[in-house]
Amino acid sequence: MSGKRATRLTPDQRREQLVGIGLEMLADRSLDELSTDEVARRAGISRGLLFHYFDSKRDFYRAVVRAECDRFTAATQPDDSLEPVAWMRAFIAGFVAYVLEHRQVYLALVRGAAGSHPAVTDIVGETRETVARRVRDGQRRLGMPDAPRLELASRAWMAFAEEAVTTWPVEEADAQEELCAFVESSFVSLLGLLDRPGTLAPR
């Protein structure tokens, strides 16, 4: 008796299905551990047919990472018509909510070892730069002056925010609201220091 017959999908639908399966599997494994054989099996197709839709395993990896990074950047894009404070809070709320909901995939891809994976370094780097630009945009929207170290400070804040969101005890009541407030205060405090270079006493 033959195995499970693949559902007939359009090429775009099949690619989307395969990428979706890849993203689901990344919840408990690294990118290098993502088996195209298992992806094909879960989709009900042969491994050879999978490579009809993707030129290589590297091409498949890139499609999976690109999909995740696109979802992440979309979730952290506020409505540009919002007032500055509302814009900043929407950006932070989107960041926090997305990472909490997709914590393991985020750790595996955007923040984890995939960031240095030769197949996807450029995609992860572009994503991090997109989010860093939003940090700098938020700083300017709040009326904080431009500063020579703004780009460096934006990346430092991202590292701080990532650590907070990926390690925060979310089981407690109102944890997400408290976390958003904490990340927001760090945004204002850290980037606000750019306007006060003499805050600390001289050594």
User: What is the DSSP code string of 133-200?
Assistant: HHHHHHHHHTTPPP-TTHHHHHHHHHHHHHHHHHHS-TTSTTHHHHHHHHHHHHHHHHHHGGG-TT-S
At residue 199, the pLDDT reads 46
pLDDT of residue 111: 61
> What digits encode the pLDDT tens for the residues 88-105?
999 999 999 999 998 888
**In this structure, how many other beta carbons lie within 10 angstroms of the beta carbon of residue 2?**
4
- State the pLDDT at residue 39: 96
Name the stretches of the chain with pLDDT < 50.
1-3, 198-201, 203
CB atoms within 10 A of CB 83: 9
Q: What's the CATH code of the domain at 56?
A: 1.10.10.60
The residue to which tokens 């395993």 are assigned: 57
Q: Is residue 101 situated within a structural domain?
A: yes
CATH for 145:
1.10.357
Instruction: State pTM to two decimals.
Output: 0.81
Domain span at residue 151? 66-195
| The residue to which tokens 């780009």 are assigned | 151
